[in-house]
């Protein structure tokens, strides 16, 4: 991997959760000027956008853009339609099948927006905090998906076709478990309290403690021996 120059720009997808915050912190540590990108996609946990803004400011992102894309017009997910968010699932339950919190084509859409912004910025680097180990079975978080997307992106862009730059999708968390991500976040100084993971927060924005995102987060902190402040 080529080391970034002082002017290297990266587009960092930022949901406001712990993983994407850690991913942004890593991009900053590697020396990239970070352009944070979040989505108001009609998610029930829209409060995560406030967390994203806090995290972007805390890590000195050059800009923080919130794109409005209204995936709730289609629905089809517990996060974008009136479908109950699964609660209290065991790790074994989370280990097979694709849950109702899967949002159809979400990462494909997010990465396409990131790709568009990267091309405008003259950036060849996109960071996304996907994880293939402690994740909820989403097909668009798998390594083979990311590899295929990167190949497609280099066929799709002007910079790629003209051979001026090769776009790289950075997935530094891909093969870490949740406890390793928590430890890495701690090492990078990610302020845990600024992040938001819950899929189904209460009206006051507090985490439910029982959705897959809450349970995976709690498991990660427990296994890392750290307190989630």
Shortest spacing between CB 212 and Zn ion, in angstroms: 8
Helix axes 18-29, 48-58, angle to 10 degrees: 20
Q: Among residue numbers 186 through 225, which ones bind Zn ion (CB under 5 A)?
A: 198, 207-208, 211, 214
Smaller CB separation from Zn ion, 149 or 199? 199
With tokens 């930022």, the residue in question is 14
| Contact between 173 and Zn ion per CB under 5 A | no
Smaller CB separation from Zn ion, 94 or 198? 198
How many other C-beta atoms can be found within 10 angstroms of the C-beta atom of residue 4? Answer: 16
With 0-12 / 13-18 / 19 or more C-beta atoms within 10 angstroms meaning exposed / middle / buried, residue 89 is middle
Shortest spacing between CB 94 and Zn ion, in angstroms: 13
Total residues interacting with Zn ion, rule: CB under 5 A? 5
DSSP secondary structure string for all residues of 137-157: --GGGSHHHHHHHHHHHHHHS
Smaller CB separation from Zn ion, 169 or 198? 198
Smaller CB separation from Zn ion, 157 or 195? 195
How many other C-beta atoms can be found within 10 angstroms of the C-beta atom of residue 54? Answer: 18
Residues that bind Zn ion (CB under 5 A): 198, 207-208, 211, 214
């Amino acid at each position: 991997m080529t080391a970034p120059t002082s002017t290297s720009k990266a587009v960092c997808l930022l949901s406001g959760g712990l993983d994407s915050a850690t991913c942004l912190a890593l991009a900053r540590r590697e020396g990239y000027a970070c352009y944070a990108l979040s989505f108001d996609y009609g998610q029930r946990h829209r409060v995560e956008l406030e967390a994203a803004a806090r995290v972007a400011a805390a890590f000195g992102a050059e800009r923080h853009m919130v794109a409005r894309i209204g995936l709730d017009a289609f629905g089809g997910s517990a996060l974008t339609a009136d479908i109950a968010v699964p609660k209290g699932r065991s790790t074994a339950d989370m280990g097979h099948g694709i849950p109702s919190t899967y949002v159809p084509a979400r990462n494909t859409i997010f990465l396409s927006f990131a790709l568009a912004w990267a091309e405008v910025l003259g950036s060849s680097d996109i960071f996304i905090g996907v994880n293939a180990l402690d994740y909820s079975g989403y097909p668009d978080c798998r390594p083979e998906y990311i590899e295929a997307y990167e190949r497609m992106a280099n066929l799709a862009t002007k910079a790629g076709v003209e051979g001026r730059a090769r776009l790289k999708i950075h997935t530094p968390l891909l093969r870490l478990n949740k406890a390793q991500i928590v430890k890495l976040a701690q090492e990078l100084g990610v302020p845990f309290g600024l992040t938001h993971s819950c899929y189904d927060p209460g009206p006051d924005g507090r985490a439910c403690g029982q959705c897959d995102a809450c349970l995976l987060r709690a498991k990660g902190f427990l296994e890392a021996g750290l307190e989630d402040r």
